Homo-oligomer: A and B are copies of this chain.
Amino acid sequence: MWTLTENSFDPSSQHHKETIFTIGNGYLSTRGAFEEGYPGESRATFVHGVFDDAPVVFTELVNAPDWLSMQVLLNGEKFSLASGEILDYLRELDLRTGLLTRRVRWQSPSGQVATIQFERFASLADQHLLALRCQVWPEFDGQIEIRAALNGHADNQGLAHWNHVTQRQENRDTVGLQTRTRSSGIHLALAMRLPGTNSPEPDYWDTENIPTLRQVFPAHNGQPITLVKFVGIATSRDTDQPLEKALVHAARPESWEAALEAHRQAWEQEWERCEVSIEGDEEAEIALRFSLFQLLIAAPRHDKRVNIGAKTLSGFGYRGHAFWDTEIFMLPVFTYTAPHIARNLLDYRHLTLPAAREKARQAGFEGAWFAWESADTGEEVTPTWVPDFHDKKKLARVWTGDLAIHISADVAYAAWQYWRATGDDAWFTESGAELVLDTAKFFASRAEWQPERGCYAYSDVIGPDEYHDHNDNNAYTNRLAQWNIQTGLQTLNWLEKNQPEKATELAGTLDLTPERLSKWQDVAEKICLHIDPTGLIEQFDGFFALKDVNLADYEPRTKSMHEIFGVEAANQYQVLKQPDVLMVQYLLHDEYTDEQIRVNYDYYTPRTDHTYGSSLGPSIQAIVACLMGDVDEAYEHFIRAARADLRDVRGNAGDGIHAASAGGIWQALVFGFGGLRIHPDGQWETHPRLPKHWKSLTFRFTLRGQQHLVRLENR
């Protein structure tokens, strides 16, 4: 199954559908809003790296000027799903080609009937090209007017970011618009071309900020008319002359068919690398392909200066900020299917090292402490205060930017994983090693020796489980910090052996003196870790002493336990947003026995808010359940993750794709149900644990430059 289908239009799910019908090409994405508009729509196009200042959230990805705008008038009546009557409706997104089609048979208020079809794609063959085709089959005689515009009046849920710069009619069929963000000063240009020399002469409406070309066609019952709109796009991040560049790209395609064919071929290559199919489970299969599609359209292919936000480029949620979601949830997908993209994303972290160092320095530490929420510069952009859940006159302090130190280890982990999977020694030498070493340096400096306990503590942190803030010795944080420091020492050994010049250079720039390194050794050996004799790990100091509740007592519910308890009170319960201990046992799987995982799995699973806690939780829970052989339970968590966007089970898909969940379900498929294990020497094996109703699972992955196709059958 490759096609997402919607057979009728329901305004109440408008924003959800806008999200899941998002298209994109790794340079930008456009939500599935209607060309002609609809009341209450959340219309948006986001272009990678185009950020602008915003209150509370510091900076946000800017909703770009609208390239879609197209009005169709049937004998003077404007086509809109908000008026007239919908006689037939079909919207389809072909995931294989990223072509979005909507076909509506519509009767105008005065009774004119026509079938109107819109198709759109963001070219994967030319990232500066967008294409839109409108076809109308009138069931009347008269005239059809089509107005195609570029609209600079875009805003971010009410916040206007653009100033008009210039616009012009380049020639008969082409107009251009250039705008500029108000604070960050990024220029963005769109150029629209309506090819088709046989069409009637267009009028040009030179309305400021909305250059419009208007064409009036004679309508004859049953005879279709067609209008193609090519839009070139460029920003001052790409070139000094964005409008000229946009014009060049708009002018390039010979025809709709030619542009679509080039785009199709690009997608074919894309899918070939990350092929996946599940016989016997259409829902799981489409969810997987949908997740991969969403990650692929958000993945920067030609830009190392950007990351992927927690909601990709598909919605206003989290304002385009990137979190650990990239490294721990999304990056493995790229590392094993499209390593060139994984490298770009890791290079983004390398480029933001200066900001990470500055963040550590300001807090009194050494090394690199990455921003919990990261945007264009890598400075910390986590909001410090947000309106309170219950009283909008009050503010609630957000602590993750101050306390979630594990982000640095997550980055190091992803860099190391990429290197091990790709064998890309050149990149590791040039960039990866520095990421690992400078984060190790941070953790060694952040550790506090506790003489009375004889171990190094990390106090006052937040782990992945954000229901508990201000805790000490978080199991995830401490173990990953230890891993990071150990891996830093290992990295230095490798460099000394294989890249002695780089070893010397980094020892110099990072000031890796023997004293410092022996401190690293000491910290790594003596980090506080609470593991009881059965192997049970306490999530943080004092967790077991918190109040225990039976989550079943709160069912049925439609809110998170965080909201039910309240931000402060949630700290007093053994209820998790997501399971930190299981998370670390998944990431460092080889270092735990099955029994050690089982005891923690049995303890933490019933204490986790699987339904409305973190959307990051279910896929990891599914993987660990697979490791434990609980395939039925694994499937339950997996399918919950798979439905996060397609079925909007959390009710917030309108804010954008749950990108971490999308990456997580691929990991659940490959490392959970497929049981893929990769050994340090590059050998691999599978331990399949397929759900009963699956006939087979097929996936392709890349290891050290080699593609491998795995087909697992249920017997």
Contact = CB atoms under 8 A, between A and B. Distances in A.
Interface in A1-49: 37, 39
Contacts of A212: 205, 207
Contacts of A55: 55-56
Nearest to A207: B207
A380 to B, nearest CB: 9
A54 to B, nearest CB: 9
Tell me the dominant secondary structure on chain A's binding face: loop
A210 B210 CA distance: 9
Interface string A222-250: 00000000000000000000000000000
Interface residues of A, number: 27
A160 B385 CA distance: 23
Contact of A160 (B39, B159, B384): B159
Interface string A376-398: 00000000110000000111000
A153 interface: yes
A163 B158 CA distance: 10
Contacts of A207: 149, 205, 207, 210, 212
Contacts of A206: 147
Contacts of A326: none
Q: Which residue among A39, A158, A206, A394 has the maximum number of chain B CB atoms within 10 Å of its CB?
A: A158
A92 interface: no
A182 interface: yes
A161 interface: yes
Nearest to A380: B393
A209 interface: yes
A223 to B, nearest CB: 26
A155 interface: yes
A408 B202 CA distance: 64
Interface string A134-152: 0000000000000101000
Interface of A: 37, 39, 55-56, 71, 147, 149, 153, 155, 158-161, 163, 182, 205-210, 212, 384-385, 393-395
25 contacts: A37-B208, A39-B163, A55-B55, A55-B56, A71-B208, A149-B207, A153-B153, A158-B159, A158-B160, A158-B161, A159-B160, A160-B160, A205-B207, A205-B212, A207-B207, A207-B210, A207-B212, A208-B210, A210-B210, A384-B393, A384-B394, A384-B395, A385-B385, A385-B395, A395-B395
